[in-house]
Amino acid sequence: MTAALFLAQRISAMVLALAVAVHLATILYAIHGGLTAADILARTHGNLGFFLFYSVFVAAVAFHAPIGLRNVIREWTSWRGPSLDAVLAAVAVALLVLGMRAVIAVYVA
């Protein structure tokens, strides 16, 4: 892993440590409060704080997961080189697109 990937992995991990905690706490709060899907969408709709928080969350995942997968693949298989990096870059883009699609959908709903 190059120094840049290492740095991205560590910083995204720090972001995720906070983001996942907030995310889980929010889920627990929503479930225990008995909120319906409509109630939740009413709270997220047009909520810039929600939008920014989950955008950061998605970006951190898009960095963190492919770098981790790259490490796992390099350790457990002989797959190396540009083809591996290209596939994992595609995974990063896919995570970013799918994640942001969900965030935007809930934001504008």
Partner 1 sequence: MTDGALKVEVWRGAERGAFQSFSVPRRQNQTVLDVVTEIQREQDPTLSYRFACRVGMCGSCAMVVNGRPRWTCRTRVSEAASAEGALRLEPLRNFAVVKDLVVDMAQFFDKWRDAHGYFAPAARPPADFAVVPPATPARQAADAAIECIGCGVCYSACDVVAWDKDYLGPAALNRAWTLVNDVRDAGQAARLAAVAGDDGCQCCHTHMSCTSFCPKAIAPTYSIAGLKRSLFWQALKGGTR
- Among 3-11, 21-29, 35-43, 100-108, the segment contacting partner 1 (CB under 8 A): 3-11
Please report whether residue 83 would count as binding partner 1 according to CB under 8 A.
no
- Among 32-40, 55-63, 67-75, 93-101, the segment contacting partner 1 (CB under 8 A): 67-75
Please report whether residue 79 would count as binding partner 1 according to CB under 8 A.
no
Q: How far is residue 85's CA from residue 79's CA, in Å, rounded to a whole number?
A: 10
Q: Counting beta carbons within 10 angstroms of the beta carbon of residue 79, is it exposed (0 to 12), middle (13 to 18) or buried (19 or more)? A: exposed
Q: How far is residue 10's CA from residue 104's CA, in Å, rounded to a whole number?
A: 27
Interface positions with partner 1 (CB under 8 A)? 1-4, 6-7, 10, 71, 74-76
